[in-house]
Every structure is written in C-alpha cells, then in structure tokens.
Amino acid sequence: MKDKKRKHGNPQGNSKERQEFTLMNASMTLSIPPLFATEPRRGALEMLDSLLMRHIPALNGVLITHSNMKFTSSTAQIINECPFAVVPITFDALVWAPRIGSKLVGKVSLASPDHLGLILHSTFNASIPRQHIRTDEWEFEYGPAENDPEFGQSVSWKTDEQTVIPDGEQTGVEGEAEAEEPQQTGKWIRITDGESIGGEEGLVEFTVIGYVLFFLS
C-alpha cells in the first residue's frame, strides 16, 4: 500500500496487473417471461439490465454495461409446463473483475485504528486491515474525543419562538433539531512528516489479496 500521487500522462499505465475492467464477449441462457412472448428481444434486454451492477458468477465479476445482444438460436425452448422461453444469447459485456494481485487505487473514505476504508470509482468498497498497513512508516493519530466540550458536536433544538444553542446564545431563526457531521475518529499519518495517508487527494494504491461478496435481499 502506498500514496497515489497525481502524475502527468496515464497514471494507471498498461500493466496487466492494473486491468480491473474487462471487455468480453459473453454467452448466457435466459428464461424470458411470457409477458415478452411477442417481444423476446425486449425481454432479453430488460433481463440483462436487471443484472447491471451485480456480481455475475458466469462472468466472474460485476456487470457494468452490456451491448450487441444476439440470439444464437432462432427458436426457444418451453420446458414441461413452465411458461418461460429458454433462449441462448451472446453479448458484449464490460465487467469489473479485479484479481488477486491486482493493483488498484481507491479514495480514503474512513480512517480508524484497525483499518482504512476506501471507495473505488465512487461505487466499490475496499478495506485495508491494520496488519497490512506498514506501522514502521504510518501511525494512527486520534482525533478529538466524541464528548470533548471543545470539539464535540454542536446541537440545536427547536422551541416555540426561537432556536436555543447549548452555550446559552439565542437566535431569532427557527430550525429543526440538527447536528454537525460527526468528526472522524482520527487519521493515518506518515511518521516522518505527519502527512495524511493518500495526501491531499486521499488516493491510495493497494494490492488485492482477497475479496468478499455481499448479497442484499
């Protein structure tokens, strides 16, 4: 893991280890609902659309886009009493499929003593556990305590006539109860110069050593 500084030209280079996106010609078998009996192509496209931004085991990655869908047979199968039309298709697929050993770049989204949270392409989450952060180069600097009266949250609440601020000051502007964004618990800094990990842009390069799939119901 290391900081990712902005460079002129293509910072990703052409190395295969950085190719997290793959363009492939994929094949798949779909079961088209009877609703699309007269428009099978529309049904197939809608089914492919429903797979976007989901991990597809057959593609070994997350489907980002699809195009050039074609039926590979002029007929469909109706199996037993099932009303769905089973059809084979091919299509071009753009898949996000990082591999073990791939080098990726993420933006710091959370810093805590036990891990560093990153977000990739404003979509995918990554986590670097503490044991994979070089503690001879980086250390965690704790932020203000949550209940610190000087740095804690500023909370206001609504009364019948005016908004009351906890320090006793009053304003003539009404408002709903609200609080400032919570402070981060701290940050990882370089021991030698105190610079935050990722620098001003918060970009960190790391090597993939594993991944976990989460399925939302």
Q: Would you state the structure tokens that stand for residue 182, as one six-digit string?
A: 């919570």
157 pLDDT above the threshold of 70:
no
Residue type, 17: E
For 173, the token pair is 């502007």
Residue 188 has a pLDDT of: 93
**List of domains in the chain:** 21-96 (3.30.1490.120), 144-183 (no CATH)
pTM score, whole prediction = 0.70
Reported as a single tens digit per residue, the pLDDT across 85-95 is: 999 999 999 99
Q: Distance (Å, rounded) from C-alpha 217 to C-alpha 193?
A: 46
Q: What is the mean pLDDT of residues 5-23?
A: 57
Contact 208, 96 (CB under 8 A): no
**pLDDT tens digits along 43-66:** 999 999 999 999 999 999 999 999
The helix/strand/coil state of 113 is coil
* Contact predicate 189/195, CB 8 Å: yes
- Alpha-carbon gap, residue 131 to 113, rounded angstroms: 11
Give the three-state DSSP class for 41. helix
